[in-house]
Amino acid sequence: MTVDHRVDWLTITECFDRHGVEYLIVGGVGAQLHGATRPTSDFDSLPKTSGENLDRLGIALRELGAYLRVEGLTDEEARALPVHLDGATLARMDISTWRTDAGDLDVLTAIPTRDGGRSRYEDLLVRASSVDFGGVPVRVAALEDIIASKEWADRPKDRAALEELRRLAADDS
């Protein structure tokens, strides 16, 4: 497994583990954990959305020095935004993008399905796999679910990743 380290994935997973955050790794890092080689510049997480878990996530984000990543704002301006990092705030955000001391981190409450629906943590957990990530046990969404979310998103970067992901899925069959 080759993992891109422009973001310190291990620091993020260790922090989440230390605070008992229940989440799945999705997106580019999830694809890398399934064997993809395409680099990614952020860590996509899909947490369980219970209030208690989102509170733990807020504590972990604070420990990581998180502040919102907002297009058009400098880091200094974004750091000055009044964001209260707790479960109630995170529950109101379908997608939130953060800059942390360990790198860019996205928090998603659901990922798209092929038919345009939305799969939450509980929906994906049954197909997810557990892997050892630098000594930290993590759960990664099934490759098929990652592929489906990239097909639906249909952005140029997602389309570019699909050929390799489909090949990996075929090799696993």
Residues 6+ away with beta carbon under 8 Å from 136:
10, 13, 14, 17
- What's the Cα-to-Cα distance from 173 to each of 65, 68, 133, rounded to whole Å? 41, 40, 24
pLDDT score, position 20: 99
Interval 134-162: pLDDT, tens: 899 999 999 999 999 989 888 899 999 99
For the chain, give every domain's residue range: 9-164
- What's the Cα-to-Cα distance from 67 to each of 32, 104, 106, 148, rounded to whole Å? 25, 10, 11, 29
**Average pLDDT for 84-91:** 94
Hey, what CATH topology would domain 9-164 get? Beta Polymerase; domain 2 (3.30.460)
pLDDT score, position 146: 96
Interval 104-145: pLDDT, tens: 999 999 998 888 889 999 999 999 999 998 899 999 999 999
Contact 147, 119 (CB under 8 A): no
pLDDT score, position 112: 86
Of 153, 113, 12, the closest CA to residue 161 belongs to 153
**Average pLDDT for 7-13:** 94
Residue found under tokens 């990530």? 133
